[in-house]
Amino acid sequence: MTLGGYANRIARINLTSLTVEYDQVPKELLRKYIGARGLGVKFVFDNGPKVDPLSPDNLMAVMIGPCTGSAVPMSGRLAIVTKSPLTGTITDSHMGGFTAARLRWAGFDGLLIKGRAWRPVYLVVENGTVRIEDASHLWGLGVRATVRALQEKYGRENTSVMAIGPAGERLVRFAGWLNEHDRASGRGGTGAVGGSKNLKAIVIIGDRSGQPQPLPERKEAFQEAVRMGQKAIMAAALTAPNKGGLSLYGTNVLMNILNEAGSLPTRNAKESHFEHGEAISGEAFREFNLASEPVCHACPVHCKKEVEVKEGRWKAKTESMEYETAWALGALCGLGDREPLVYMLDQCNDYGLDTIEMGVTLAMAMEASEKGLTPEVINWGDAEKMSELIRKTAYREGFGDILANGAYGAACLLGDPDIALSVKGQAIPAYDPRGVQGIGLGYATSNRGACHLRGYTIASEIAGIPFPTDRTVTEGKAELLKTFQDLFGFLDSMDVCKFASFAQGAEEFSAQVRALTGFDDITPEEAMRIGERVYNLERHYNNLNGFTGKDDTLPKRFFTEPATHNSAGMLSQLPVMLEEYYRLRGWKDGVVPEEKLKELEII
């Protein structure tokens, strides 16, 4: 079987037996789940939902989509799909850069990794083969030192290295994978899954001249689809290179906007406006700390911002100061100083920690400290203490061993789970669900725990894309969210950056996939149905693990303590939206019924 776009090859790697087998994916599965997130979810589901996330039986699927490595705009994404040790749900987490493209150019659609090696190992992926090598000399190193050592051995040109740091080795429940450009598969604890398998790194060697490259099934239609996508990105207000806000300031362009709206959770969301927000905004980082603006494969936007502190206590240089990072380690912890934020981002990247979960966990600890629940005092905005606790968390030293469980897990151990800003065990991102109603529904119903990227209603509620909606009302938000969730289910399966949706929609994305694969029946409507299938399969996986409607909720604070500033007095109206959302989904109390699974051809 040969399909346009795909390499038609996956590797099944058993680290217990140190063996590798090669396989093809049936055409029917590719048509139903496309690739990356969708196909990874199918593989993880078929592996069995009851598996212990940190056991050798858990499957870690490293996946790309049919667009990967091609000229499709913003297609440089790679997905890691597995069962999360942080939440117990299925999870997927995506990294940018050139790692994904090199995996396709090395001749693969994905790597399916199971088992546990008896000693530390790393993988070498090259020319359609996978080798398992001894990583004993790398164990204990940070991400940067690991990348340097492997690049010295295999070269920098045409080589990508993704690795875990000390946090992943010590099974910190929110450890991630990072590559040579500090791009992270950060959420959900995928790095801990790697650590549980004694898998330190994956080296991918590939360029366009290596393996025979997959060609589009419809060459002229593909060129036209790419041209239209590029044209839309170049013209859109947010994505236009060197003009749009995302291109100029990165994702941190949102800091001042959300802060002015009174929707920036501050000091563990006891407030929703930060008096020093402007000092840690994208505009401020661009003026005072910008070092470079690196790119991902096939992306003209340049949203990544490498930042630097050139001298002094907080000297560091690292990618990328995202809005979520500046918020989690900044406003949420009461810290308005850019220099320690750069340093702490650098720490998290080298230790292999999710900056969102780390910041929310520290903010929880600060409130717990106020209540006398912690073994040591942690004051709001104390940068020295925060930096010390980041290190202790990565190495599970002292109080860090408690924090290594994430905000919710640590709050439970401290005796007050209500102060954790978490949903299904995962920390919330940087949008206050009291002042922006739709995103609260998104957090509550996200299949991987609190997340803004399952259904980014902020695009409409704050940026007015594809049309503006009133952030303060609940009407229409259930339908808006379902549309975003289904669209992103398809987009993540292509695997294309979600920021592409600021300029394109289902019509453009489905045209790209049709031309690449030759699946001519993937209309815009069918693309949305595929996204819906992926979302329901994830939900079914979680249902089989005991998750129901009782888990589709928000932290207590958002129902009982009003927001401040320009959202003053507002509370989340989640129950009103949730009833409508379940009706649109065809779910019963958060559970996918059998007739829905059959309707979507999941069973």
Q: Where are the domains of the chain?
A: 10-210, 247-416, 437-502+523-600
* Spatial distance between the Cα atoms of 461 and 480, rounded to a whole number of angstroms: 10
Q: Give the DSSP H/E element, type plus range, for residue 37.
A: helix 36-46
Query: What pLDDT is attached to residue 320?
Result: 86
Cβ burial of 222 (10 Å; 0-12, 13-18, 19+) is buried
Residue 236's Cβ-side half-sphere holds a number of Cα atoms within 13 Å equal to 25
CB distance 83 to 90 below 8 Å: yes
Task: Characterize the bridge pairing of strands 199-205 and 121-126.
Answer: parallel
* Spatial distance between the Cα atoms of 51 and 48, rounded to a whole number of angstroms: 6
* Spatial distance between the Cα atoms of 418 and 557, rounded to a whole number of angstroms: 7
CB distance 420 to 364 below 8 Å: yes
> Strand order of the sheet with strand 121-126?
129-134, 121-126, 199-205, 159-163, 177-179, 184-185
Banded model confidence at residue 211, pLDDT cuts 50, 70, 90? low
* Spatial distance between the Cα atoms of 219 and 466, rounded to a whole number of angstroms: 30
Question: At the top level of CATH, which class does the domain 247-416 belong to?
Answer: mainly alpha
Residue percentage of the chain with pLDDT more than 70: 99
List C-alpha distances in Å: 274 to 278, 288, 289, 330: 9, 20, 21, 9
Token pair 């041209």: residue:
227
DSSP 3-state assignment of 163? strand
Least confident of 98-112, 163-177, 200-214, 539-553: 200-214
- Chain Cα centroid distance, residue 534: 16
CB distance 66 to 5 below 8 Å: yes
Q: Do 10-210 and 247-416 share a fold?
A: no
Query: What pLDDT is attached to residue 207?
Result: 87
Query: What pLDDT is attached to residue 225?
Result: 95
Phi-psi region of 527 (alpha: psi -120 to 50; beta: other; left: phi over 0): alpha
DSSP 3-state assignment of 47? coil
Least confident of 2-6, 265-269, 310-314, 478-482: 2-6
Q: Give the DSSP H/E element, type plus range, for residue 123.
A: strand 121-126
Query: What pLDDT is attached to residue 209?
Result: 74
* Spatial distance between the Cα atoms of 11 and 43, rounded to a whole number of angstroms: 13
10-210: CATH, from 3.10.310.70, 3.60.9.10, 3.40.630.30, 3.40.440.10:
3.60.9.10
Query: What pLDDT is attached to residue 566?
Result: 97
**Digit-coded pLDDT (tens) for 71-124:** 999 999 999 999 999 999 999 999 999 999 999 999 999 999 999 999 999 999
Query: What pLDDT is attached to residue 302?
Result: 87
Banded model confidence at residue 284, pLDDT cuts 50, 70, 90? very high
* Spatial distance between the Cα atoms of 196 and 246, rounded to a whole number of angstroms: 37
Banded model confidence at residue 212, pLDDT cuts 50, 70, 90? low
Q: What are phi and psi of 8, to 5 degrees?
A: 65, 40
CB distance 377 to 399 below 8 Å: no
* Spatial distance between the Cα atoms of 181 and 178, rounded to a whole number of angstroms: 8
**Digit-coded pLDDT (tens) for 354-413:** 999 999 999 999 999 999 999 999 999 999 999 999 999 999 999 999 999 999 999 999
Any idea how long the chain is? 603
0.85 surpassed by pTM: yes
Give CATH for domain 437-502+523-600: 1.10.599.10
Q: What are phi and psi of 205, to 5 degrees?
A: -115, 115
**Digit-coded pLDDT (tens) for 50-85:** 999 999 999 999 999 999 999 999 999 999 999 999
Q: In this structure, how many other beta carbons lie within 10 angstroms of the beta carbon of residue 472?
A: 16
Of 496, 341, 356, residue with least CA distance to 429? 356
On the question of pLDDT at 560 being above 70, the answer is: yes
Of 136, 393, 179, 205, residue with least CA distance to 294? 179
The amino acid at residue 189 is: G
* Spatial distance between the Cα atoms of 534 and 47, rounded to a whole number of angstroms: 16
Q: How far apart are the first and last CA of the chain?
A: 24
**Digit-coded pLDDT (tens) for 142-194:** 999 999 999 999 998 899 999 999 999 999 999 999 999 999 999 999 999 99
**Digit-coded pLDDT (tens) for 414-451:** 999 999 999 999 999 999 999 999 999 999 999 999 99
Query: What pLDDT is attached to residue 1?
Result: 55
Token pair 């954790």: residue:
420
